[in-house]
Amino acid sequence: MSILVYILLGAVSIGAVAFAFVPQLLGSSRADKRIKALQGDIQANRREANVVRSRDDRRKQIQQTLRAQNEALGKAKRRVPLQDQIVQAGMKVKAAAFIRNQVIVGAAVAILCWFLQVPILFCPVFGVAAGYLLPKMYMGWRRKRHQNAYLDELPNAVEAIVRGVKSGLPLNDSMRLVAKEAKEPIKSEFARVLDQQQVGKSTTEAIQVLFDRMPLPEVNFFVVVITVQQQAGGNLSEALGNLARVLRNRKKMKQKIKAMSSEAKASAGIIGSLPFIVAILVTLTTPTYMVPLFTTTIGQIWLGIAVLMMSMGGFMMNRMIQFDF
C-alpha cells in the first residue's frame, strides 16, 4: 500500500513539474515566433518607409526642377534681348549689324517717300516706322520658321536618344549620335551641348544651353526630363519615350488649331487689305479724287488718323487670331 502511495506521489510530482515547466518552454517558443514576426513587420515597415521617403524626396526634386524651369520660361517670355532674338531666329549677325540695317532701311524709306512727293513731315515718320518694323517683321518671320523646324526635328532626336539608351549606349554617346545624324537646327544645337561638356560642364548644365537658346515649352520638357534623371535617377528611356509621344501629340494639336483658325486669319487679311484695295481702285478710276488727302492739311490729318486706326485694328486682329499652346 505504501509503495502505491509513493508511486502516486511521484506521478503527481512529475505532473506538477511538467505542468510548471513545459508551458513555459512552449510559451517561449511561441514568444520567439511572435518576436521574429514582429521584427519582420518592423523591417518591412522600415523598408516601406524608406521607399516612401525616397519617393517623396524624388517628388520634391522634380517639383523644384519644374518650378525653376517654369520661372526661367516666364523670364524668357517677358523680355528677350535683341541678340537672343537674332539667335532664336537662326540669323548669324550681331546686334550692332542688325541695328545698322534698321537705320539703312529707315533712311531708304524716308528718301523714297521724299521722291514720291509725300509731305515732308511724314517722310521721317514713315522712315522711322519702316526702319523699326520691317527688319523686326523679317526677324519674327525667320524666328517662327526656325522654331517650327526645331520642333519638327526634336521628336526624332528624342527617339534617337531613346534607341541609343535602350541599346546600351550612355546618354552622351546617344546625344553625339544625334549631333552627327540629325537635321538642322537640332544637329548644331546638340553639337553645342557636347562642346559645353568638353569644357567641363556637367550634363545638367550643358543641356540647359538648349533651353537658353530656344526657350520653348517642348525644349523645357526635354531639359526637365534629363535634369530630373541626372539628379534623382529613374528609367531614362521610358521617360524620353513618353516625352517623344507627348511632343508628337502637341504637334498634331497645333496643326489642328492652325487648320481651325485658318478661316479667321484669311478673313482678317481680307478685311485689313480692303482699304488699300479700294484706295488703289479709286486712284485708277479717278486720279484726282484722293489728291486732297495728301495736299491739304485737313486731309493729311485724316490720313494720319486713318493710318493710326488701321494700325490699331491690325494689331487687335493679329492678337485675336494668335493661339498660344
Q: How far is CA 188 from CA 90, 170, 317, in A?
A: 11, 20, 36
Which H helix or E strand runs over 151? helix 122-166
The CA distances from residue 20 to 13, 16, 25, 180, in Å, are 10, 6, 10, 85
Out of 164-168, 212-216, 257-261, pick the least confident.
Answer: 257-261
pLDDT at residue 104 in the model? 92
Count other Cβ atoms within 10 Å, centred on residue 315: 10
Residue 2 has pLDDT above 70, yes or no: no
pLDDT of residue 119: 74
> What pLDDT is stored for residue 103 in this prediction?
92
Judge contact between 159 and 238, C-beta under 8 A.
Answer: no
pLDDT at 296 over 60: yes
| Of 10 and 302, more confident | 302
pLDDT for res 237:
82
What CATH class is the domain 82-260? Answer: mainly alpha
Q: What's the rounded mean pLDDT across residues 240-246? A: 87
What confidence category does residue 205 fall into, taking pLDDT thresholds of 50, 70 and 90? confident
Question: Per-residue pLDDT averaged across 29-43, rounded?
Answer: 58
Phi and psi at residue 121, to the nearest 5°:
-70, -30
Considering the chain, what is the average pLDDT of its residues?
A: 77
